[in-house]
Structure formats: C-alpha cells, structure tokens
Chain A
Amino acid sequence: GAVVSQHPSWVICKSGTSVKIECRSLDFQATTMFWYRQFPKQSLMLMATSNEGSKATYEQGVEKDKFLINHASLTLSTLTVTSAHPEDSSFYICSARGTSGRTYEQYFGPGTRLTVT
C-alpha cells in the first residue's frame, strides 16, 4: 500500500521557537494533504487541507499565522508551528490523498509528537 512518512517522529522545543514538521508521500503523488491534531486521549481534529501549489484551507478556529502550511510539491507538505507555546504540545498527524480518485484512498503518516517546554 501507499506509504506516508513524517519527520520528525517526535520533537521537544522551547517556548517561543518554531518547529517544522514534514509529511511525505513516498510512493505516490498526493494532490491533497491534510493535517490533524490530536490531544492526549482525544480524537483527531482536522486543522487544514493543503493542495499542491495553492494556499491551505484552515478549519475554523485554527490560526493560519501560527500554523503555516506549505505544499510545494506533489510529495511534500510541511507544517510549521510558529512561536510555539506549551498549549501547542500535541500529536500532529498528516494524511495524503492520491490521484487515483478512489474515495477511500487516504493514507496517514505515523504522526509527530510535539512537546513545547
């Protein structure tokens, strides 16, 4: 099956710094990628949808200036958490949708655990 990777798998950063998380589709082209956030013992919440070559669409309540998303190629999307604070500590998961058009074709990355101290 299709593989999606994320890097790093976990990161600890100091409050006020920025952190970049990469999401790559390894063996297929992803026209659309999604970023989710999951707090401990809670569900996944969609943060934004990114389409290759265009601006990301953010869900209500998600600060676009804080969570910068770039989808510069068909295999790479990045999420940058700017000026991170402890409340941004969470599990960030990306998923990628391929180009074959099958409606259930959405593949998740392994996630990135962010801890802001």
Chain B
Amino acid sequence: AQKITQTQPGMFVQEKEAVTLDCTYDTSDPSYGLFWYKQPSSGEMIFLIYQGSYDQQNATEGRYSLNFQKARKSANLVISASQLGDSAMYFCAMREDLSGGGADGLTFGKGTHLIIQP
C-alpha cells in the first residue's frame, strides 16, 4: 500500500484563486511528520511547510497552510491567493518514527503538477 497518496496528477488554477492540493497518508506510527515541498522545473526541492502528528494546530507559513485532519489521515496543502510563480510540482512527504529519533528519510507522494493561469 502506498504510504503517501496524491490523487491530483495535475491542476489548472486561475491566478489569485486559492488552491487545495490533496494528500492522504498511511502509517501505524503514532509519531510522524508531514511535509510539503515545491519543485520548480529547475529541480530544487523547496521546503514549504511541516506538520507534526502531535501538533494541535494546523501549520501555517505565509500563504501556505496545512489542513491536517488526523482521523482522516489527510494533510492537504492550501495556497491562498495563488501567483504565477506558484506553478511547479508539489510533493507531500512523510517521516515516520519520530520518537525513535526520526533518522529515516522521507517517503514522497507522486506529486501534483500545479499550473497557475493568468
């Protein structure tokens, strides 16, 4: 079974609209972290936002917020007021076993290709 599922291979959104990118995850660890990364065509991985499994509040970073629904195992990324520069691949990722030191690498979803149209 996939650990990270991103069901939207591609999305077209009008500039200035809000965008929600879906991510569901699967883990039996009580302690885990969820990440969102942006990958423009240059290939670099840009960290956007992080949510810990024990965090009580949804994470926010500027225009990015993470809609964390633990019971549903969902960690959707919300981008408010989208901009042309937001066009890129977006990956949801998870790291498990944080209580054990969290030394493991990240497991990534397949990504969503977001295109912002003027």
A interface vs B, CB < 8 Å?
32, 34, 36, 42-46, 49, 51, 91, 93, 95, 97, 103-104, 106-108, 110-111, 113
Contact = CB atoms under 8 A, between A and B. Distances in A.
A36 B44 CA distance: 12
A36 B110 contact: no
B33 A91 contact: no
Interface in B65-118: 91, 93, 95, 98, 102-111
Contacts of A46: 105-107
B11 interface: no
Contacts of A45: 108
A78 B109 CA distance: 26
Interface string B13-44: 00000000000000000000101010000111
Contacts of B110: 42-43
A108 B38 CA distance: 12
A109 to B, nearest CB: 8
Interface residues of B, number: 24
A110 B103 contact: no
16 contacts: A34-B105, A34-B106, A43-B109, A44-B93, A45-B108, A46-B106, A49-B104, A93-B45, A95-B105, A97-B103, A103-B50, A103-B98, A104-B33, A108-B47, A110-B43, A113-B43
B110 to A, nearest CB: 5
Question: Which of B43, B95, B106 has the most chain A CB within a 10 Å cutoff?
Answer: B43
Nearest to B113: A41
Contacts of B35: 104
Contacts of B111: 43
